[in-house]
Amino acid sequence: MKGSSVVSKRNAVESSGAAVALTIAGLDPSGGAGVIADVRTFAAFGCFATAAITSLTFQNTTGVFGAVHQTPETVRAQVMPIVEDFKVACAKTGMLPTREIISEVARLFRETALPAPVVDPVMRATSGDDLIDDDAVESLIRELFPLALVITPNIPEAERLTGLNINNEPSMRVAARIIRGMGARAVLVKGGHLAGVERYAIDVLDNEGRITVFAEEMIAGGEVHGSGCTLSAAIAAGLGNGQDLEEAIRTAKNFVTESIRHSPQLGHGARPLYNDLRHPTPST
């Protein structure tokens, strides 16, 4: 009886035409980042959202005040029923706080039918709080990067991964090449943290050696919360909907730009993105 209900549920989702999207990331109770932002983004792209939580964080728009991490066993216990029930079309990872969780997540991608993920190497919160230690960074590079479809570090994350001082587009290109040399097929270095940028936010994609530079309007108005989570989730959703990588990135960047443009000042810190928007048409 249980087996037939599982098949029925899977058939209902697949017949609806909705791509099943999976996020494996931390929970931000204030909703600006992590799995809540990912799920809202998946929904905006018409995907059926599923999620596994790696860490329960205690945070809001002003900072991170602590966290309780899941065990590798509880992460696996969340993911396996999803894999057994659905054909997952796209996946992304966010906050993977410990070496043990990273190893387990990598094992899940190696041993199941999960698609190659979009890996957002979350290392530091918008508030500046560190979310991952050096041992976990080493495991991320060694175990998960070679499995990724694309890795999406921001400037501080790319600097931590490479040891470079990244201050312009040429150094972003060098960083992307170095990170791709760590085993990834493609690397998108996000330039939103570049000093002195006023008109355009520039991201650099190194896709198996082919460089593409993306530029979107820089929206003024102070710090925002959850843009990296939203971007990586939007890229994954675009891939799940059949876009190629460059098209998915272009659509995702446009989505993030519009989400920032409409982001409300709800708390006392960084503005959370308004990522409930229906995803807009990609820029041409």
Q: What is the 3-state secondary structure (H, E, C) of the chain?
A: CHHHHHHHHHHHHHHCCCCEEEEEEEECCCCCCHHHHHHHHHHHCCCEEEEEEEEEEEEECCEEEEEEECCHHHHHHHHHHHHHHCCEEEEEECCCCCHHHHHHHHHHHHHCCCCCCEECCCCECCCCCECCCHHHHHHHHHHHHHHCCEECCEHHHHHHHHCCCCCCHHHHHHHHHHHHCCCCCEEEEECCCCCCCCCEEEEEEEECCEEEEEEEECCCCCCEECHHHHHHHHHHHHHHCCCCHHHHHHHHHHHHHHHHHCCCCCCCCCEECCCCCCCCCCCC
Summarised one tens digit per residue, pLDDT across range 140-193 is: 999 999 999 999 999 999 999 999 999 999 999 999 999 999 998 999 999 876
Position 63 confidence tier, pLDDT thresholds 50, 70, 90: confident
Mean pLDDT (the chain) is 86
In the predicted structure, residue 104 carries a pLDDT above the cut 80: yes
pLDDT at 60: 83
Task: Express as a percent the part of the chain with pLDDT over 70.
Answer: 81
| Each residue's pLDDT tens digit, 194-229 | 755 556 788 999 999 999 999 877 766 567 768 899
**Across 27-31, 53-57, 272-276, least confident range:** 272-276
**What dotted CATH number matches 2-272?**
3.40.1190.20
Tallying the residues shown for the chain, one arrives at: 284
What's the pLDDT score for residue 257? 86
pLDDT at 238 over 70: yes
pLDDT band at 126 (very low <50, low <70, confident <90, very high): low
Confidence grade of residue 283 (pLDDT, cut at 50, 70, 90)? very low
Assigned token pair, 77: 């216990």
Q: What is the pLDDT of residue 97?
A: 93
Alpha carbon distance 257, 273 (integer Å): 9
Mean pLDDT score, 4-14: 48
Mean pLDDT, residues 130-137 taken together: 79
Residue 149 corresponds to which amino acid? Answer: L
- Would you say residue 135 has pLDDT above 90? no
In this predicted structure, what is the pLDDT of residue 232?
97
Residue 89 · residue 227 · CB < 8 Å: no
- Predicted confidence band of residue 267 (pLDDT cuts 50, 70, 90): low
The pLDDT of residue 264: 67
Confidence of residue 278 (pLDDT cuts 50, 70, 90): low
pLDDT over 70 (residue 7) = no
What pLDDT is stored for residue 194 in this prediction? 74
**Higher local confidence (pLDDT), 19 or 224:** 19
With bands split at pLDDT 50, 70 and 90, how would you rate the model's confidence at 35?
Answer: very high
pLDDT value of position 129: 57
HSE (CB half, 13 Å, CA atoms) of 151? 31
Q: Rounded distance, CA 192 to CA 242, Å?
A: 27
